[in-house]
Each structure stands twice: as structure tokens, then as C-alpha cells.
């Protein structure tokens, strides 16, 4: 036992003396590792971290946000060089404070902004909404009635609605006839479908609705079901969503009314997070508190990729 300990101690001393040559140690802590998006972030992060020669420790607290705080405290005690979180920073403020007190930088991987998070790497919600809103505007030739599905109570989705409002407002011949906030308690598809059926009933004349712009994919899928069920698929109502989930990709690949969505680059977010941690560890003072990773418009041309 004593021998183990002294070997360990001298290893620590050597590591301390050789300074920059020692492998940097980074802890990635999230309650959501079992969710597909988070897995892709972490894969991208680990791949880049391996190239950088880092020691990465991924901690999954299996949905327990309180345990994220505890594990942040533990890795701070261990003395890691940097911490990456993929959880709402407002919920783990106690842990962020511990890291700040110890002078250990915390970087957010699609985590949200917080004064105690050095920088957050994510997708640009404003830009994603702009992509689909101008797609709609151009596709209908700048004129016609548009139905919007938005969700203002959730800030990341609220920003999408704001941008679409601005873009449609900039076309004098586009009129937003309805701005619907669907009930999302059952996932959002069913209630969006019901709401869209009501809109279709209120606008029975062909061409009365030119497009449906949805702030995420579920309402777009619900609207698609309503349009198909009403037998109005041939009117050429253009539907767009955001996020490009598998169900949306299938619908877009089918070449029907659901024409476009936007895909986030989850692995790219992971890679950029690793690159950003590297910049911080190299002593760079970052000006930006948020770094956006480019997204991609998904249409029938690339939906199957």
C-alpha cells in the first residue's frame, strides 16, 4: 500500500514539474448522455480530445441534475483542468460557483448562457429560423397566407418565432393569418394537427393557405397530417420545420408538402467545444460568450444523407 502511494505521489510531482507536457484533464458532465443529441456531442468531443491528447472523463448522472452539482464538486476537488457541462447552467449554479472559486473554467456544450460559464457552444436559433422562413417566403413567391406554429414560453424556440415574424413582416404581400402555440404535453404532433384542421376548415378555398412555418418539427408533422387528411395535399401548401428529426427527414424525403427543415451539427458542436476548451487552456481570453456551429438546411435533395 505504501509503495503504491509513494509511486502515485511521485507521479503527481513529476506531472506537476513537467507542466505543459502533462496530459490535460477534462471532465464532461451531463445528466442526458442516453439522449441521442447528447451522445453525438460527446462523440464529437471525445474524437477531437483524443487528437489533442487529453484525458477525458465522461460522467453521466442518468437524469439526476442534483448529482451533476455533486460530480462537478468532485472533479473540482480532483483538480481537473477544465469542465464541460451539457445541462442548463441555471440548475447547476452551486457547482459552477465551486468551479469558479477554484479557478477551473467551465464550458457549455449546448448548455445555455450563464455568467459562470466561460462560453457556450451551440446552434444559432436565429439563423435556423431565418433559413426556413426565407425558404418559405421565396418558395411562395413572396405572397400568400402563412400559418405559424411557435412556442414562446420556451426561450430557445421563442427566438425562432421572432426571426420568422421579422422576415414575413418584410414581405408586404405575405400575411400571417394565424400564430398558433400548440399544446406540447403529448409531444406536440396531435394538438398541432387538431389546430391545423381548424385553420383548414376556416380557409376552405384552394390556395387560401400558402404555407405553414413551424418553429420545430412536431407541429410541422401535425400540420402535414391535417393537410393530407383533409385531402388538400395537392394545393401545394409549403411546410417547414426545424431540427430535422428522423420523422421529419422521412417526410421531407417523400417529396410531399413538408419541404424543408434545419439540421444541427451535433458532432460539430462537440468538436468545436473541444477546440474552444483548448483555446481557453492555452490562455486565450475569449471575447464571445456564445459560439455558434453552422447548421444545414435539409430539403428533399439531402434529406436521406
Instruction: Say if residues 274 and 244 touch (Cβ distance below 8 Å).
Output: no
What secondary structure letter does DSSP report for 237? -
91 counts as binding other proteins under rule CB under 8 A: yes
Instruction: Say if residues 129 and 151 touch (Cβ distance below 8 Å).
Output: no
List 90, 286, 290, 304, residue binding other proteins (CB under 8 A): 90
List 22, 24, 52, 70, residue binding other proteins (CB under 8 A): 70
- Report the residue number, 61 or 257, with the smaller CB distance to other proteins: 61
69 counts as binding other proteins under rule CB under 8 A: yes
63 counts as binding other proteins under rule CB under 8 A: yes
List 102, 116, 130, 194, residue binding other proteins (CB under 8 A): 102
Instruction: Say if residues 164 and 215 touch (Cβ distance below 8 Å).
Output: yes
- Report the residue number, 85 or 133, with the smaller CB distance to other proteins: 85
List 21, 101, 205, 305, residue binding other proteins (CB under 8 A): 101
Per-residue cell: 149: 406554429
11 counts as binding other proteins under rule CB under 8 A: no
Using CB under 8 A, which of the segments 64-72, 224-232, 242-250, 294-302 binds other proteins?
64-72
How far apart are CB 141 and other proteins at their closest, in Å? 40
Length of the chain: 305
79 counts as binding other proteins under rule CB under 8 A: yes
The string over 38-74, giving b where at least 16 C-beta atoms fall within 10 Å of a residue's C-beta and e elsewhere, is bbbbbebbbebbeeeebebeebbbeeeeebbbebbbe
Q: Which of residues 162-191 bind other proteins (CB under 8 A)?
A: 185
Instruction: Say if residues 205 and 225 touch (Cβ distance below 8 Å).
Output: no
Instruction: Say if residues 123 and 156 touch (Cβ distance below 8 Å).
Output: no
Using CB under 8 A, which of the segments 71-79, 118-126, 170-178, 243-251 binds other proteins?
71-79
120 counts as binding other proteins under rule CB under 8 A: no
Whose cell is 465522461? That residue is 58
62 counts as binding other proteins under rule CB under 8 A: yes
Q: Residue 174 and residue 144: Cα distance in Å, rounded?
A: 5
Alpha-carbon 158 to chain mean position: 14
Hey, which bits of 104-154 come out as E strands?
A: 106-109, 119-122, 143-149
64 counts as binding other proteins under rule CB under 8 A: yes
Rounded to 5°, angle at Cα 126 from 296 and 193: 80
Q: Which of residues 215-274 bind other proteins (CB under 8 A)?
A: none
Binding site for other proteins (CB under 8 A): 1, 4-5, 8-9, 12, 57-67, 69-71, 73-75, 77-79, 88, 90-94, 97-98, 101-102, 185
Amino acid at each position: 500500500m505504501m509503495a503504491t502511494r509513494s509511486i502515485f505521489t511521485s507521479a503527481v510531482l513529476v506531472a506537476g514539474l513537467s507542466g505543459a507536457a502533462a496530459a490535460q484533464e477534462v471532465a464532461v458532465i451531463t445528466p442526458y448522455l442516453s439522449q441521442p443529441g447528447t451522445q453525438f456531442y460527446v462523440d464529437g468531443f471525445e474524437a477531437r480530445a483524443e487528437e489533442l491528447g487529453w484525458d477525458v472523463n465522461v460522467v453521466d448522472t442518468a437524469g439526476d441534475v442534483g448529482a451533476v452539482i455533486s460530480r462537478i464538486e468532485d472533479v473540482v476537488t480532483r483538480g481537473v483542468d477544465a469542465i464541460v457541462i451539457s445541462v442548463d447552467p441555471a440548475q447547476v449554479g452551486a457547482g459552477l460557483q465551486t468551479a469558479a472559486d477554484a479557478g477551473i473554467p467551465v464550458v457549455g456544450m449546448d448548455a445555455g448562457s450563464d455568467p459562470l460559464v466561460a462560453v457556450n457552444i451551440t446552434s444559432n436559433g436565429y439563423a435556423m429560423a431565418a433559413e426556413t422562413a426565407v425558404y418559405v417566403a421565396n418558395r411562395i413567391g413572396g405572397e400568400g397566407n402563412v400559418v405559424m406554429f411557435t412556442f414562446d414560453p420556451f426561450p430557445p424556440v421563442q427566438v425562432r418565432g421572432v426571426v420568422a415574424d421579422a422576415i414575413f413582416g418584410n414581405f408586404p404581400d405575405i400575411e400571417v393569418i394565424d400564430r398558433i402555440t400548440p399544446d406540447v404535453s403529448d409531444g406536440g404532433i396531435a394538438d398541432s394537427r387538431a389546430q391545423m384542421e381548424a385553420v383548414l376548415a376556416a380557409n376552405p378555398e384552394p390556395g387560401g393557405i400558402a404555407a405553414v412555418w413551424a418553429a420545430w418539427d412536431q407541429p410541422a408533422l401535425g400540420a402535414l397530417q391535417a393537410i393530407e387528411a383533409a385531402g388538400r395535399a395537392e394545393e401545394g401548401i409549403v411546410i417547414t420545420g426545424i431540427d430535422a428529426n428522423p420523422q421529419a427527414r422521412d417526410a421531407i424525403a417523400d417529396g410531399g408538402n413538408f419541404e424543408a427543415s434545419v439540421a444541427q451539427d451535433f458532432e460539430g458542436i462537440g468538436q468545436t467545444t473541444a477546440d474552444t476548451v483548448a483555446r481557453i487552456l492555452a490562455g486565450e481570453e475569449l471575447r464571445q460568450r456564445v459560439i455558434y456551429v453552422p447548421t444545414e438546411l435539409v430539403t428533399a435533395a439531402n434529406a436521406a444523407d
